[in-house]
Amino acid sequence: MNCYLCRAAIPDGEPFYNDREQQVCKPCFKDAPRCFICRFPGKNLEEVEGLGLECEFCRGSVIGENDDLLAVLAPIFPFLANFGLKAPAQPQFAWVSRAALREMQTSADLPPEEFVDDFLRYCYAVYYNGGTFYCLRRMASPTLIVHGIVQLGVADICGAHGLANLSANSPFHTFARGFCHWVGFEAAKRLTYDLESRQLRKWPELGAQGEFERWESMARFNKQGKIVAFFKANLKALARRHLDDAVPGQSENQTS
């Protein structure tokens, strides 16, 4: 086995770094600059202005600012529909810097971030607010898809209840956010995005994922259809109790 960077043989029993189906010897790994997206000590790192170094593996799988985001996300709309969530017909996207996206989501005093996972630990890479999906510059496509699913769900619920965003912490909000986070988590699992599903199980750390754990444990013992029905019925009741009056859609008076 040879080191990806220096090509020297890595002796048996020596520790090494293993990722991207490549091995990097310990001396190289110790000093190597690393990709800000995946932390891999790439051979061909290129500086992305204002963000950091990007490796040869991430270049290419990363969503660029000229990519058609709707085209990337549209194939997952039927998946959302299975959870009773409807994507907007014409979603508006805006690219924002990490700092700005972080500020939209939390005012907490957080440690400085170097890598994308430092950011994802506290925030979503896609964030819905006031009719726009704000997107992190240079994210990998699995991140866009999974975080996009969460926030498309959020947008649908906001639209149905006349809300600009879902960030407040009433029982209505945490209930609904948890459900959307769980839908994104389920998508990550089914798409075998292992990294993203692991991240969504524990992050964001500041509570943006609401009552996610409740949905995850419910899913262990219940069929999806039953969970979706439970969500719909309870969301309605919680909206009545916890949202300000004059909530659009309340007069429908449907029971099921």
- Please give the residue ranges that form the binding site for Zn ion (CB under 5 A): 3, 5-6, 25, 28, 35, 37-38, 40, 55, 58
Omega of the bond leading into 41 within 30 degrees of 0 (cis): no
Q: How many CB atoms lie within 10 A of CB 88?
A: 14
Q: How far is the CB of 13 from Zn ion (least distance, A)?
A: 16
Q: What is the dihedral angle through the alpha carbons of 25, 138, 117, 61, rounded to the nearest 10 degrees?
A: -50
Q: How far is the CB of 68 from Zn ion (least distance, A)?
A: 23
Closest CB to Zn ion among 25 and 158?
25
Q: How much helix, strand and coil, in percent to the nearest 5, is found in the chain? A: 45, 15, 40
Q: How far is the CB of 134 from Zn ion (least distance, A)?
A: 23
Closest CB to Zn ion among 5 and 76?
5
- Radius of gyration (Cα) for the chain, nearest Å? 21
Closest CB to Zn ion among 4 and 231?
4
Closest CB to Zn ion among 25 and 235?
25
* Tokens encoding 69: 């985001």
Number of residues that this document lists for the chain = 256
DSSP 197: H
Q: How far is the CB of 113 from Zn ion (least distance, A)?
A: 16
Q: How far is the CB of 75 from Zn ion (least distance, A)?
A: 24
The separation between CA 30 and the C-alpha centre of its own chain, rounded to angstroms, equals: 30
210 close to 238: Cβ distance less than 8 angstroms: no
Closest CB to Zn ion among 116 and 188?
116
Q: How far is the CB of 19 from Zn ion (least distance, A)?
A: 9
Closest CB to Zn ion among 34 and 161?
34
The separation between CA 77 and the C-alpha centre of its own chain, rounded to angstroms, equals: 16
